[in-house]
């Protein structure tokens, strides 16, 4: 796992780059959040491919638990990927509602993620 740092408008953004899945469990997500939080990052970008598919099945509760911690710590998160492959209406509704807010965003590209996170 590699962290690419973007600093824009005095906001320190961590772009997490990995060749393998890094979030398989709630604990993995919380460890990532904690590590980056204590390194002084304000916001985080992670790729959908690096997250367990169970995260995107809302019935498992994994997404809810992880994203609640991000909100509690006030660390904004952008998840980059193509979410059209998921057929769940509830997931698409969740993504739509999340994108209305400021803490959790689901986007297509890292450029879009950086743009959104640096303007909040």
| pLDDT band per the 50, 70, 90 thresholds, residue 4 | very high
**Largest CA-CA distance found in the chain, in angstroms, rounded:** 38
Mean of pLDDT over the chain: 94
Encode pLDDT of 44-80 as tens digits. Answer: 999 999 999 999 999 999 999 999 999 998 999 999 9
pLDDT at 94 over 80: yes
pLDDT score recorded for residue 119: 84
Domains present along the chain, CATH in parentheses: 2-118 (3.30.750)
Q: Both tokens of residue 49?
A: 């491919």
C-alpha 110/C-alpha 113 separation (Å) is: 5
The model's pTM: 0.94
């Amino acid at each position: 796992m590699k962290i690419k740092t973007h600093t824009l408008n005095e906001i320190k953004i961590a772009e997490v780059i990995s060749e393998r899945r890094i979030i398989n469990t709630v604990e993995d997500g919380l460890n990532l959040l904690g590590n980056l939080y204590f390194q002084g990052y304000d916001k985080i970008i992670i790729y959908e491919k690096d997250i367990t598919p169970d995260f995107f099945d809302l019935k498992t509760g994994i997404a809810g638990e992880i994203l609640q911690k991000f909100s509690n710590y006030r660390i904004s998160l952008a998840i980059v990927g193509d979410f059209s492959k998921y057929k769940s209406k509830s997931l698409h509704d969740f993504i739509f509602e999340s994108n209305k807010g400021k803490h959790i965003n689901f986007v297509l590209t890292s450029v879009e993620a950086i743009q959104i996170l640096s303007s909040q």
